[in-house]
């Protein structure tokens, strides 16, 4: 299994197995969203915890994608256990796919999750305006996105070639979000990575 301490959970009940995962799940605020009858696209799904949460809370269809094959293998193993105890498991699918593999005509969903992905796309050469424009194309109704606050955040500043403020900044991100979505609000700052001095922000756009 993955060594990520923020993704330790019981696949049958989705109960967090440590305080890190419990805090992260609480801070996603997914319990505040109505998934009933909605399709969900989970971009960067990792081991599937958020995908399973959406399905268990009524989503009609959930597709979790991640560019890392090992994560998808583990998510699929988790799905086998989840489906044994939850009928909603029949509505969950996992696929190996990167952001650039996603096509609006095929993957457009009512609700899109984009957790811990935006800065990696920027590192890989996709500018913020291009990423958010595509997120708008993939989103029918609601986008729930989490991202590092600015270039001083450890996962950006700690890289050999960190991003510049021209490439990545909260001003740039929110300007693009408000350009493509009518409604944008900050749900809160995530504290689950406080020990690493990381600063994440959670945003709802529609």
Joined tokens for residue 48: 């599937």
204 domain-assigned: no
* Domain containing residue 58: CATH number: 3.40.50.150
d(CA 86, CA 99): 29
19-27 and 49-56 helices, crossing angle to 10°: 60
Q: What is the DSSP letter of 86?
A: -
Query: Can you give the residue range of the structural domain that contains 100?
Result: 19-195
Considering the entire predicted model, what is its pTM?
0.95
* Dihedral pair phi/psi, residue 205, rounded to 5°: -130, 145
8 domain-assigned: no
| Per-residue pLDDT of the chain in tens (206 residues, 90 and over written 9) | 456 888 999 999 999 999 999 999 999 989 888 899 999 999 999 999 999 999 999 999 999 999 999 999 999 999 999 999 999 999 999 999 999 999 999 999 999 999 999 999 999 999 999 999 999 999 999 999 999 999 998 889 888 888 999 999 999 999 999 999 999 999 999 888 766 667 899 999 99
42 domain-assigned: yes
d(CA 108, CA 197): 35
126 domain-assigned: yes
Q: What is the DSSP letter of 163?
A: P
131 domain-assigned: yes
């Amino acid at each position: 299994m993955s060594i990520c301490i923020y993704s330790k959970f019981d696949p049958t009940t989705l109960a967090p197995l440590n305080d890190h995962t419990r805090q992260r799940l609480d801070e996603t605020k997914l319990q505040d969203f109505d998934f009933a009858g909605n399709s969900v696209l989970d971009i960067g799904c990792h081991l599937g915890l958020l995908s399973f949460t959406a399905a268990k809370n009524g989503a009609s269809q959930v597709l979790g994608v991640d560019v890392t094959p090992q994560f998808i293998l583990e998510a699929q193993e988790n799905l086998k256990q989840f489906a044994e105890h939850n009928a909603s498991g029949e509505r969950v699918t996992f696929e190996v796919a990167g952001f650039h593999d996603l096509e609006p005509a095929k993957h457009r969903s009512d609700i899109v999750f984009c957790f811990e992905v935006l800065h990696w796309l920027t590192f890989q050469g996709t500018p913020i305006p291009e990423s958010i424009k595509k997120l708008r194309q993939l989103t029918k109704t609601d986008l729930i996105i989490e991202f590092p606050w600015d270039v001083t955040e450890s996962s950006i500043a700690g890289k050999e070639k960190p991003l510049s403020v021209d490439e990545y900044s909260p001003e740039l991100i929110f300007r693009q979000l408000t350009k493509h979505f009518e409604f944008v609000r900050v749900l809160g700052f995530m504290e689950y990575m406080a020990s690493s001095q990381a600063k994440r922000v959670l945003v709802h756009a529609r």
